[in-house]
Chain A
Amino acid sequence: MRRYPTWPIHLALLLTACVMLVPFYWVFKTSITGENIFSYPPSLLPVDPQPFFYVDAWYAIPFPRFFLNSVIVAVMVIVANLFINAAAGYALTKNFAGKRWIILLFLACMMIPFHATIIPAYLITAKLGLLNSYLGLGLPAFSHIICIFIFKASFDAIPPSLIQAAKIDGVPERDIMLKIMLPLAKPAVATTIILSFIWSWNDFLWPLIIVRDVEMQTLPLGLSTFLAYFEDTTGALYAFCTMVLAPGLLVFLLAQKEFIQGLTSGARKG
């Protein structure tokens, strides 16, 4: 087959890469600019770089507190998702009366976007007395249906003979699950961790609805509140924005293979 020159492809991809990267650069540049960020024309390179905006942001907002809140909620959601979804996925590998109905119920629930439930979800959370609390922030995300099916699929792939052998050896059901099946379902565990992390870390609408106090705000909520107070008038906004993006980017770059794989298998989320 005739070989085509590759330079047009490189050119097109380089251009795309620029379009994808320049927005990040532009915000980072603004966050370290030393001169007035509103002087025209804007310089393409940071003029007189300095960290003042970061210092401003650090003193204007309780960044460590926001970060901690985000981490606490994310960890809660991840742990809950691992246990609840692995348990449900394991139960669905068994046969029992009503199994089809349960599966249908799960599939139907997948068709309900969380966004279509916010009003009663808010009222329910208020009734439970969980407004403005970590548990309230995490609870609706404690189980993602897609992860149940991912766990079920990976448990189904474990050869039944292995389980049978363990049963014959008298291994109790609990140990079969924790010591044999869970380690064999590592990809499902990784996917669940990644999906529940991203969805919890980036979640904005739910915290916006149920958080009242500044001390309970998570990072996205803190960022949007900052925007609401200061508009675009200060470079500290872009310093804050960079501080918020940096950990997410770092986590992504460290585990990008798992991220890409996890998000692709989570694509069917409703």
Chain B
Amino acid sequence: MATASTSSHQSRIGGGRTVAPSARRGLFARKRHRELALIWVLLIPALAIFLLYRVIPLLWNVVLSFQFWSPTKPSEWAGLYHYEEMWVYDDVFWEALTNTFKYMLTAPIAIILAIGLALMVNSRIRGRTVYRTIIFMSYPLMVVAVGIIWRWLYDENVGLINYLLRSLGIIDRPIAFLETFATALPSVIAAAIWQIIGFFMIILLTGLQNIPPNLYEAASIDGASRWSQFWRITLPLLRPSIFLCFIIGIIASFTSFDLIYVMTGGGPGHATELLITYIYKAAFTLTQFDYAGALTVVMFVLFVGLALIANALAGGEAGKVDIAD
């Protein structure tokens, strides 16, 4: 397929090479060979890295998950043993799975708040760039440090949050947010929202600025209220940006290792355990690499499934990369 299209494209990119006179064909063939060699030499480093750290690990995970494997013994075929154990006996797996889904709530909440913020920092008010910077600032920061900051804010005795709630009379005894089963996960989610909201705001702001202003002019000439302009113009045209945020949120629920590790370590009990923290523990604390491999396969299948569904809902627009050639 690629060879068939080569000649037509070459006339655009490669210039005169396509119509080589037969007398000089040998020279051009040699040049073409050299160019091909160069192309592959340029591609090889990237391919090697992806082979080594993406493709092989993915396949190896699958193999591991069907084996009894430990660093010291030769491996044995295990069939579906690990999957059965996970599905039938492992309550922690189900808890981690549920928590991973709950953690995805970060996305819709953060998106709704971020739409509000994006609309506000998009209006013509003084100091809007300063607001944008301040709200975005938390996003590129080191998650480990952010986790420590939030632990301290949630502190039972002298944390700012307990102090404020007590001073305002909302609660009369301090809450150990991160050590209580009911509050641990929501507290971590709040911290995650705090960190990602500025990023969502910027993505949505870019979306807002790409909406042609004459749509609003036409709508207001027709007498549409601001409210209906928002619902009929802004929201539909923001859809690709919203879905992009949504996909980022889904990815985050599978990769938010740092925040959980620092803030709660998955506890209390397994109240804040996500699949990724559970995989880490199974592999590197309990050295059950085979079982952790099976967990990873489940996580990956789930991740790809959700990403494809979200992409389909977005009309195939979100996360689109231009491959048209």
* A contact set with B: CB distance below 8 Å: 1, 6, 9-10, 12-13, 16-17, 19-24, 26-27, 30, 37-42, 83-85, 87-88, 90-103, 105-107, 109-124, 139-140, 142-143, 145, 148-149, 153, 160, 164, 167, 173, 198, 201-202, 204-205, 208-209, 219-220, 223-224, 227, 232, 237-238, 241, 244-245, 248-249, 252-253, 256, 259-260, 263-264, 267-268, 270
Contacts and interface: CB of A to CB of B under 8 A. Distances in A.
Given A16-B135, A97-B3, A232 B42 contact: no
Contacts of A101: 2
Given A84-B45, A103-B323, A160-B13, A17 B134 contact: yes
Interface of B: 1-3, 5-6, 9-10, 12-15, 35-36, 38-40, 42-43, 45-47, 49-50, 52-58, 60-61, 64, 116-117, 120-121, 123, 125, 131, 133-145, 148-153, 155, 157-160, 163, 167, 194, 198-199, 202-203, 206, 220, 244, 248, 251, 254-255, 257-258, 261-262, 276, 279-280, 283-284, 289, 292-293, 296, 299-300, 303-304, 307, 319, 321-323, 325
Nearest 9 CB-CB pairings of A with B = A120-B57, A117-B57, A120-B60, A88-B46, A87-B42, A91-B42, A220-B144, A140-B53, A116-B300
B45 A87 contact: yes
A113 B251 contact: yes
10 contacts: A41-B158, A94-B35, A105-B47, A115-B255, A115-B257, A117-B54, A120-B56, A120-B64, A204-B257, A238-B152
Nearest to B6: A95
A101 to B, nearest CB: 8
Given A93-B13, A117-B58, 7 more contacts: A17-B131, A26-B160, A38-B157, A95-B14, A116-B61, A143-B46, A220-B258
Contact of B57 (A124, A143, A237, A268): A124
B280 to A, nearest CB: 7
B38 A202 contact: no
A149 B121 contact: no
Contact of A264 (B150, B151, B206): B206
Given A91-B39, A139-B53, A241-B148, A263 B135 contact: no
